């Protein structure tokens, strides 16, 4: 089979050894790559019920089949582990150019176990893998680490690294690559820090074979012409995710001041139009025709601040959720998080919570909604666990619990929620509650239909919408969990609104035989169910939401979503409907019949 290199690299940091073994091609056929193959490897490689901080908990780097081939948006990497943040499955996707370089070096995946005795950098140069001391890189921020690796290892080196936040094991520390690309959610950076692994660097001189290269290039051209460079996707190039600020705010779904409102009065100062005024250039990940990465420049406190982003989620959580409408301060906050290696969703969430606790007189953190001076100091305090940072580093759930107000923590299964309030976008209620990595919008995205396109009522949820959450609706571009699971197994970027029909074309190139659209979606369902089994094995908590997001008592008194709440009875009924449609029992356990139907070969 072309596309795959057929090799998995194993790195044992405790023993200081490496080994190469064949990629399990049966699993690759069943699960494609990316998320699916990651999950199948995790089932095998993660010891059941292992402490997430134990050396045996691996970090797995998995490419997709099309990385390095020129298929647009496909050169992404997924990083997986049992999350130190949530104790369940987590995956996080990162663009840039690490994944193709890894394949050029000869590997489809890397499994990293153990814990190095001293800070270490792993350098992969084709078939030579070295462990190098990392003392001189300790404390470096993420862009400095990458620059050092280009100087010390190879000018073309591609680097995955952690910043000071990862070294300090902040539970939501992320992994960085190509400076601005982050495997952000779930704490992979914290686990890297715990393993004393400052960076993984790769340089490859090989290539990826695609069989008949001319036919394949013709196909890529056709995909670009017909399916990619279309208005379904080019919004990402033209405006990028800040375009979401206005519609989400207009629907009363923009988390504001720790989710105490759904409409932010300062939104127009941090919306797409505002960012376009300070935009300087665009950039793309490896061989991506869409090129959505936006660079901005401004000044804050007399200093130039320039960089990529912020994306919508950062604007929502670090902006509106903290009451911040100062675009310069928001740019600075985003830069600090990027350099320190902090996920911005979780950082914005915990800072918003600390502001709320202060404003309500519960504990004075010296932080207030909208107050810039104290706000921009917080990322560094968190990353170094200094001053109030030592407490904020507990994370949203533990911080709220410590001060006796768990109801103020806006998280699901320990992962802080992203920027869509279910009170203004009802579908997100079930979406968040059932997400396989905790509070996340990337498994299903009802907001796309309910708020952005306006093709589905934002204040209704019924069995038909649950079906879209489960499966997706390709005719409308509604992203469902099965559809996102197959898309993330091929590792196509979220910003290509790919359909099952288009995946059929790609998978025929991959496996050389025809697929139906139903078969494509069935693979996605298989992946989703395997994720559920993994989480059940590890002891996942009940699928639920912070109660104020669905109970009638939590409805806003004013704003565009005033008076709206899914309702507690309705929410419970919809969760029961979700389990039924999934073929799971009333407590969310997949039935034997469902597992057999999907050809899943593992059991609890």
Site mask for ligand SF4 (CB under 6 A), range 481-510, x = bound: ------------x-x---------------
Which of 288, 350, 353, 410 lies at the binding interface for ligand SF4 (CB under 6 A)?
Answer: 288
In angstroms, the Cα distances linking 97 to 102, 202, 567 are: 9, 10, 45
In angstroms, the Cα distances linking 110 to 7, 106, 391 are: 9, 11, 34
- What contacts 398, CB < 8 A, 6 or more positions away? none
Chain CA centroid to CA 293, Å: 16
Asked if residue 478 lies in contact with residue 468, where contact means CB atoms within 8 angstroms, the answer is yes
Q: Does 383 bind ligand SF4 (CB under 6 A)?
A: no
Nearer to ligand SF4, 75 or 120 (CB): 75
> What phi and psi, each to the nearest 5 degrees, are found at residue 556?
-70, 145
Nearer to ligand SF4, 279 or 594 (CB): 279
Q: Does 290 bind ligand SF4 (CB under 6 A)?
A: yes
CB of 186 to ligand SF4, least distance (A): 19
Only segment of 57-65, 289-297, 370-378, 472-480 that touches ligand SF4 (CB under 6 A): 289-297
CB of 291 to ligand SF4, least distance (A): 5
Helix (H) or strand (E) holding 272, with range, is helix 272-277
Which of 202, 285, 408, 520 lies at the binding interface for ligand SF4 (CB under 6 A)?
Answer: 285
Would you call the peptide bond into 290 cis, given omega within 30 degrees of 0 as the criterion? no
Q: How far apart are CA 599 and CA 604, in angstroms?
A: 15
Site mask for ligand SF4 (CB under 6 A), range 384-413, x = bound: ------------------------------
- What contacts 551, CB < 8 A, 6 or more positions away? 565, 567, 568
Nearer to ligand SF4, 33 or 52 (CB): 33
Q: Does 291 bind ligand SF4 (CB under 6 A)?
A: yes
Q: Which residue has the tokens 């993984």?
A: 200
Q: Does 293 bind ligand SF4 (CB under 6 A)?
A: yes
Only segment of 144-152, 284-292, 540-548, 591-599 that touches ligand SF4 (CB under 6 A): 284-292
Helix (H, G, I), strand (E, B) or coil at 282: strand
Q: Does 284 bind ligand SF4 (CB under 6 A)?
A: yes
> What phi and psi, each to the nearest 5 degrees, are found at residue 370?
85, -5
Beta bridge mates, 121? 132, 199
Q: How many residues bind ligand SF4 (CB under 6 A)?
A: 12
Which of 87, 95, 422, 427 lies at the binding interface for ligand SF4 (CB under 6 A)?
Answer: 95
Helix (H, G, I), strand (E, B) or coil at 307: strand
Nearer to ligand SF4, 239 or 411 (CB): 239
Which of 105, 220, 236, 353 lies at the binding interface for ligand SF4 (CB under 6 A)?
Answer: 236
Nearer to ligand SF4, 253 or 292 (CB): 292
Q: Does 479 bind ligand SF4 (CB under 6 A)?
A: no
CB of 14 to ligand SF4, least distance (A): 35
Question: 3-state SS of the chain: helix, strand, coil percent to 5?
Answer: 40, 15, 40
Which of 18, 73, 176, 272 lies at the binding interface for ligand SF4 (CB under 6 A)?
Answer: 73
CB of 219 to ligand SF4, least distance (A): 18
Q: Which residue has the tokens 């019920």?
A: 49
Only segment of 281-289, 300-308, 442-450, 577-585 that touches ligand SF4 (CB under 6 A): 281-289
Q: How many CB atoms sit inside 10 A of residue 458's CB?
A: 24
Here the tokens at position 137 are 């890189």
Beta bridge mates, 483? none
In the complex, which residues of this chain contact ligand SF4 (CB under 6 A)? 73, 95, 236, 284-285, 288, 290-293, 493, 495
């Amino acid at each position: 089979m072309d596309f795959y290199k057929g090799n998995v690299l194993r790195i044992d940091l405790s023993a200081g050894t490496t080994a190469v073994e064949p990629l399990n091609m049966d699993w690759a056929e069943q699960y494609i790559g990316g998320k699916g193959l990651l999950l199948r490897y995790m089932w095998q490689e993660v010891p059941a019920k292992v402490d997430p901080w134990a050396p045996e908990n691996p970090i797995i780097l998995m490419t997709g089949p099309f990385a390095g081939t020129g298929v647009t948006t496909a050169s992404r990497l997924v990083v997986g582990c049992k999350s130190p943040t949530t104790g369940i499955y987590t995956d996080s996707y990162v663009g840039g150019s690490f994944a193709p370089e890894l394949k050029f070096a000869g590997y489809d995946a890397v499994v990293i176990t153990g814990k190095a005795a001293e800070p270490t950098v792993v350098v992969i140069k084709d078939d030579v893998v070295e462990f190098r001391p990392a003392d001189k890189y300790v404390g470096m921020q993420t862009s400095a680490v990458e620059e050092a690796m280009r100087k010390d290892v190879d000018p073309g080196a591609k680097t995955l690294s952690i910043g000071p936040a990862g070294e300090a094991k902040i539970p939501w520390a992320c992994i960085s690559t190509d400076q601005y690309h982050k495997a952000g959610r779930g704490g992979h950076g914290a686990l890297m820090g715990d393993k004393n692994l400052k960076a993984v660097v790769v340089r490859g001189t090989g290539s990826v074979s695609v069989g008949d290269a001319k036919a394949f290039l013709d196909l890529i051209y056709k995909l670009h012409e017909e399916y990619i460079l279309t208005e379904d996707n080019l919004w990402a190039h033209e405006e990028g995710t800040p375009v979401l600020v206005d519609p989400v705010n207009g629907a009363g779904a923009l988390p504001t001041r720790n989710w105490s409102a759904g409409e932010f009065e300062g939104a127009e100062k941090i919306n797409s139009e505002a960012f376009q005024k300070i935009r300087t250039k665009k950039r793309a990940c490896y061989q991506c025709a869409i090129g959505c990465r936006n660079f901005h420049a401004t000044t804050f406190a007399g200093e130039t601040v320039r960089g990529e982003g912020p994306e919508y989620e950062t604007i929502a959580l670090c902006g509106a959720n903290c009451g911040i409408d100062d675009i310069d301060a928001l740019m600075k906050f985003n830069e600090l998080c990027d350099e320190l290696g902090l996920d911005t969703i979780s950082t914005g969430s915990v800072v918003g919570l600390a502001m709320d606790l202060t404003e309500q007189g519960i504990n004075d953190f010296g932080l207030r909604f909208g107050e810039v001076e104290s706000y921009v100091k917080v990322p560094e305090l968190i990353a170094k666990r200094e001053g109030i940072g030592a407490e904020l580093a507990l994370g949203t759930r533990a911080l709220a619990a410590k001060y006796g107000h768990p109801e103020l923590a806006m998280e699901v299964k320990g992962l802080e929620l992203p920027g869509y309030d279910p009170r203004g976008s009802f579908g997100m209620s079930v979406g968040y509650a059932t997400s396989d990595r905790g509070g996340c919008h990337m498994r299903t995205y009802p907001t796309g239909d309910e708020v952005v396109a306006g093709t589905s009522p934002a204040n209704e949820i019924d069995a038909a919408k649950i079906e879209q959450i489960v499966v997706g609706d390709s005719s409308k571009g509604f992203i469902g969990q099965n559809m996102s699971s197959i898309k993330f197994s091929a590792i196509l970027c979220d910003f290509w609104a790919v359909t099952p029909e288009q995946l059929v074309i790609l998978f025929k190139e991959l496996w050389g035989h025809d697929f139906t659209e139903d078969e494509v979606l069935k693979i996605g369902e298989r992946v989703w169910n395997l994720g559920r089994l993994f989480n059940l094995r590890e002891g996942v908590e009940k699928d639920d939401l912070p109660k104020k997001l669905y109970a009638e008592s939590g409805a806003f008194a004013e704003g565009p979503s005033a008076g709206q709440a899914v309702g507690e009875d309705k929410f419970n009924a919809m969760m029961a409907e979700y389990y039924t449609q999934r073929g799971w029992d009333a407590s969310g356990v997949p039935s034997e019949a469902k597992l057999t139907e999907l050809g899943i070969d593992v059991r609890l």
